[in-house]
Amino acid sequence: MIYLSLGQESIPAGVSAAVSAGKPWILGQHRAHATYLCFGGSREPLVDELLGLPSGCCGGMAGSPPIQDYENRILGHIGLIGDQVPVATGVALTNPEDQVICFFGDGAAEEDYVLAALGFAASRNLNILFVCEDNDLSVLTPTSVRRNWKITDVADSFGLETVEIADDPWLVAHWANRLKGRPALMNVQTCRDIWHVGTGNDGPPEWDRFQMTKDTMAKIGLRHESQAIEEEATAEIEELWAKRLQILFAN
Ligand SMILES: Cc1ncc(C[n+]2csc(CCOP(=O)(O)OP(=O)(O)O)c2C)c(N)n1
Ligand SMILES: [Mg+2]
């Protein structure tokens, strides 16, 4: 099973631009490839993990959902949606000097243990930033069918500082920076490009943040730079996959 973060990458990318000195603790959910790469994970062990190679970041034994890298303080998910929220709260409680950043989905926001943990983090004034990657979907069910409340309203009532924003990377970085050092929650509206699991899609996404970011870079005179970054990254990734697949088939 593979859970891709395509379309949602601007959230961890923006948050990673607002990290304090030193390494924060990072806890993500099952859709965390982008989170792993944005907070110090490397491409090769990620690809190897997806291919089940022993050189993968979890020894090739975990696959896509629990991607982790303990040396970079990225703790992997175990599969129970939202369970990382109480775990992250415990990490913040026991490491008061460290920054803790916890990502979860809008579906996970409905779990009782998530809400209890948000309340506890606010009561103890913990240094933790909760980031809800709100793609308006729990598997295939939109939020309007599932609930009549907003996670920002609930978190606000607990005493967390909250903000509701779109996944514009500059906006995400700005707010992640503003909300540092205290218990806070950002709900970031985003758009999943690909199916819940796997690599298919049901047509173009409602919005394409990657394209919008490229358009913005062009508008501010960085078209050439953004093209160069994309070409370089595409070539590197194609080469990386070709090499790792050769290793897989040689075994
Ligand atoms: C406690 C629990 N209930 C149900 C599931 C099945 N499940 C897996 S992913 C998922 C939806 C998660 O939605 P969200 O948190 O919004 O994350 P997204 O997939 O949208 O990134 C569900 C219900 C689960 N893994 N754990
Ligand atoms: Mg969701």
Task: Name all domains of the chain by residue range, CATH numbers in brackets.
Answer: 10-204 (3.40.50.970)
Q: What is the pLDDT of residues 162-198, one digit of tens each?
A: 999 999 999 999 999 999 999 999 999 999 999 999 9
Of 29, 38, 120, the closest CA to residue 72 belongs to 38
pLDDT band at 251 (very low <50, low <70, confident <90, very high): confident
Q: What is the 196 CA–ligand 1 centroid distance (Å)? A: 9
Among 33, 138, 194, name the best residue to mutate to test ligand 1's pocket (greatest count of ligand atoms within 8 A of Cβ): 138
Tell me the average pLDDT of the chain. 97
Beta strand 25-27 with 74-75: parallel, antiparallel or unpaired? parallel
pLDDT at residue 49 greater than cutoff 80: yes
Cα distance between residue 188 and residue 198, in whole Å: 23
Q: How far is CA 199 from CA 6, 170, 218, in A?
A: 10, 28, 29
How remote is the CA of residue 224 from the centroid of ligand 2, in Å?
34
Per-residue pLDDT at 19 exceeds 90: no
Which are the contacts of 204, defined by CB distance < 8 A and separation ≥ 6?
Answer: none
Whether residue 84 has its Cβ less than 6 Å from ligand 1: no
pLDDT digits (tens, 9 = 90+) for 67-111: 999 999 999 999 999 999 999 999 999 999 999 999 999 999 999
Task: Decide if pLDDT at 245 tops 90.
Answer: yes
Ligand 1 pocket check for 135: Cβ under 6 Å: yes
pTM exceeds 0.95? yes
pLDDT of 21 > 80? The answer is: no
| Substitution candidate for ligand 1 out of 78, 139, 143, 147 with most atoms within 8 A of CB | 139
